[in-house]
Chains A and B, each alone.
Chain A
Amino acid sequence: MNCVLDGNCVKAFGKAIHALSRVGDELWLDPTVKGLALRSVNSAHSAYACFLFAPMFFHQYNLGSALEQGSETIKCKLVMKSVLPLFRCLTSIERNVKQCEISIGTPCDRVMIRFFCRHGITKTHSVSFQESEALQAVFASHLCPNVLKAPARLLCDMVRHFPVSQEEITLSMSPLKVSLRNYFEGAKDHLKTMYTEMSLHPDEFDYFQVGVDSGITFCLKELRGLLAFAESHCLPVSVHSGAAGRPVCFSVEDMVVEATVVLATLIDSESRGPSQPTETLAPPTPRCVDAAALPVGYCDAHSNIPHDTAAGTELVASSQGSPIINSALMQLLPQTDIPNELCVPDEACHSASTTPASTTICSLLFRALSSDQDDPGLPVLAGYSDGEENMEDDDYPRSPQL
């Protein structure tokens, strides 16, 4: 794969990498026909981010000989620490870099990033990668009862009121208003913790649909990168969510780039509806910090029953023995009989592709792409209270509830 970016685009690309670095420590590069996808997931698998740059974004975009051979293009996994410093200082990139060339060459396991700078200087960086299956999230946003769309500015302003160290916030939605509050578990130190709350009127949103009154708690840190990206491009941000425990998806798109961050939310059985007064600051009963574990995905074209996850699941045996990233982030809707539209055929990964600019479909298939089905068992995404990746476990996948 080989692509070339023009000066202005390098900054946007760098911003995307910054946003992804807030999510995880590894960066997946996945060149596809639809564009170059950059993805990251955090170690607890409770946050996933994907930036897809369409071929139009690039000055040149060649998938290279791999396509001609008919085999799939290489997907690489890079260590974020080796890529982020290259794009660290965006202002100097903006000033100095005229073009950037990125190529992934098979012979050597390296991604080459070349900056053509002013004054005839060329900087070439060669970053080694691990070949890995790509990683994507399954998320049926069209099934989400709650949809909000707001200019990035609004969300950034709201989020600005929370200190940078704030881990989690609770977003409560009702037909009358939307409120944000910070979230603390356990009464750690009363005198130290400051509570912040704010509410927004539905009128402030470009699109407002609340099907289910809910309060979802998710990690703010991982989201800030996307919000910064959206604000710099002045794009509106769409928020798709459901009841507590269901993942929430933040997405941004324009002609040449689509960005998505999917976060797991806490399962909170308290009915802390948005109409509740702020006095309810009694700390909630501590529960599994790491939220609704991203449910194991499955894609079984025949089954309509969400819980039937065992058979027919696409599992990934990574070609290089890298850990099986099989977590599927998916909407489990036990109470409805909505046909499972998440099932997608094997090869065609409808990754955040040419989704219409509406809020309907933004399905990301979160699974490793592979036609191999060596492993019949299903790795389970364990509760992440200790952050361990429980990859080898063959147990029946647990539902999000503990």
Chain B
Amino acid sequence: MKFRGKIVDVACLNHFTRVVTTISKLTKMCVLRLTPDNLFFVLSEKVANGGVSMWCELSQANFFDEYQMEGVSPEDNEICLEVTPENLSRALKTVQSAKSVKVKLTKKHCPCLTIAAELPTLSSTSRVVTHDVPVDVIPRRLWHEFREPSVPDFDVSIYLPPLKTMKNVVDRMKNLSNFLVIEANLNGEMNLKIETDLVSVTTHFKDLGNPPWGDDASQGGGPSQSRDQDSMAEARVDVRRLQQFLMGQQVNPSKAMCNIVHQRVLHLILLHEDVSLQYFIPAVA
């Protein structure tokens, strides 16, 4: 197993760092899957037990100037590593001014992802800083747990309001209740509701727009066809999970949307030019 990548462009390094930082805010540990074309940050807690799952896909060509990898075997040309994204994020954050950053899979006292940065200095020689981030190699037999999740048979798909606004609302609601109901319909309306013995609060968003899934939506018979435009699909979720997702976002995505499977799962999708992030929050009764 070998992996060696090099980032030279400052903007790419910056973007990559921000992605890793976002991931680090969402989870303490996750799996990094490396394939010849992509990098994936995957988290899959047991959804049945109320765990969230996350899937973040990056196209390597958009970040790395050089990228070479050799997977476990020619048929399974992939590498799966368990890593603490916060370590990666810390290492990357300190080398933002580097001339080049190499990320390599190495074996030091344990398998590591080594981040070696070449920093500019006043003298002729450059300074090299290395950070060794320990990782755990995931054996092939467990790889099935980290497959790309399929888009669920959602009932409603809707664009999210500006994340900052949503975050503010959710932050306030968190003080009042542990659970929040998110509901939306195909008319571009979304409500965030909490209800306790003493008080119930609802925030309404209008004119959000619904993403046209088109032919892809044929799974559920096409929500746009068979569904009443005003009927709301809802999911009651743990407000802290939602808040954690919103808190971590560092950059405004080009597209942010969510799919709601009525009383089952909330599927949040953020799209950038070169990164996509999906986050699944299960609904609770």
Contact = CB atoms under 8 A, between A and B. Distances in A.
Contact of A194 (B82, B90, B122): B90
A275 B156 CA distance: 62
A204 B123 contact: yes
Interface string B93-130: 01100000000000011101000000101111101111
A191 B130 CA distance: 17
A192 B108 contact: no
A204 B122 CA distance: 7
Main secondary structure of the interface of A (DSSP, over half): loop
A192 B84 contact: yes
Nearest to A199: B128
B129 A197 contact: yes
A275 to B, nearest CB: 15
A184 to B, nearest CB: 10
Contact of B127 (A160, A200, A279): A200
Contact of B108 (A191, A203, A281): A281
B109 A194 contact: no
Contact of A201 (B90, B94, B108, B123): B123
B134 interface: yes
A60 to B, nearest CB: 41
A278 B123 contact: no
Contacts of B133: 194
B132 interface: yes
A279 B123 CA distance: 27
A46 B265 CA distance: 55
Contact of B129 (A198, A204, A281): A198
Contact of A163 (B90, B122, B127, B132): B90
A49 B87 CA distance: 32
A195 interface: yes
Nearest to A181: B130
A358 interface: no
A192 B136 CA distance: 11
Contact of B125 (A163, A203, A281): A203
B266 interface: no
B91 interface: yes
B129 A196 contact: yes
Given A278-B108, A279-B108, A282-B109, A193 B134 contact: yes
B131 interface: yes
A161 B84 CA distance: 18
A270 to B, nearest CB: 15
A190 interface: yes
A193 to B, nearest CB: 7
Nearest to A283: B109
Nearest to A277: B108
Interface residues of B, number: 27
A16 to B, nearest CB: 27
Given A196-B130, A204-B123, A191 B136 contact: yes
Interface in B36-94: 82, 84, 87, 90-91, 94
A156 to B, nearest CB: 12
Contacts of A281: 108-109, 132
A201 B126 CA distance: 8
A190 B131 contact: no
B109 to A, nearest CB: 4
Given A204-B122, A278-B108, A198 B136 contact: no
B91 to A, nearest CB: 7
A278 B136 contact: no
Nearest to B88: A194
B124 A194 contact: no
Nearest to A163: B90
A200 B129 CA distance: 9
Contacts of A190: 109-110, 134
Interface in A11-35: none
Of the listed residues B91, B110, B122, B131, the one surrounded by the most CB atoms of chain A closer than 10 A to its CB is B131
B127 A161 contact: no
B120 to A, nearest CB: 11
Contacts of B95: 161
B121 A204 contact: yes
Contact of B132 (A160, A203, A278, A282): A278
Interface in A94-147: none
Interface string A180-222: 0000000000111111111111011000000000000000000
B134 A194 contact: yes
Given A161-B94, A278-B108, A279-B108, A194 B125 contact: no
B127 A198 contact: yes
Contact of B91 (A196, A199, A279): A196
B100 to A, nearest CB: 15
Nearest to A194: B87
B134 to A, nearest CB: 5
A398 B95 CA distance: 44
Contacts of B123: 201, 203-204
A291 to B, nearest CB: 24
Nearest to A193: B134
B122 A196 contact: no
Interface of A: 157, 160-161, 163, 190-201, 203-204, 278-279, 281-282
23 contacts: A190-B109, A191-B82, A192-B87, A192-B134, A194-B90, A194-B132, A194-B133, A195-B131, A196-B131, A196-B132, A198-B127, A198-B128, A199-B127, A199-B128, A201-B121, A201-B123, A203-B123, A203-B125, A204-B122, A204-B127, A278-B130, A278-B132, A281-B109
Given A191-B82, A204-B123, 6 more contacts: A192-B87, A196-B131, A197-B130, A198-B127, A200-B127, A204-B121
Interface of B: 82, 84, 87, 90-91, 94-95, 108-110, 112, 119, 121-125, 127-136
4 nearest A-B pairs in the assembled complex, by CB-CB distance? A198-B129, A195-B132, A281-B109, A203-B123
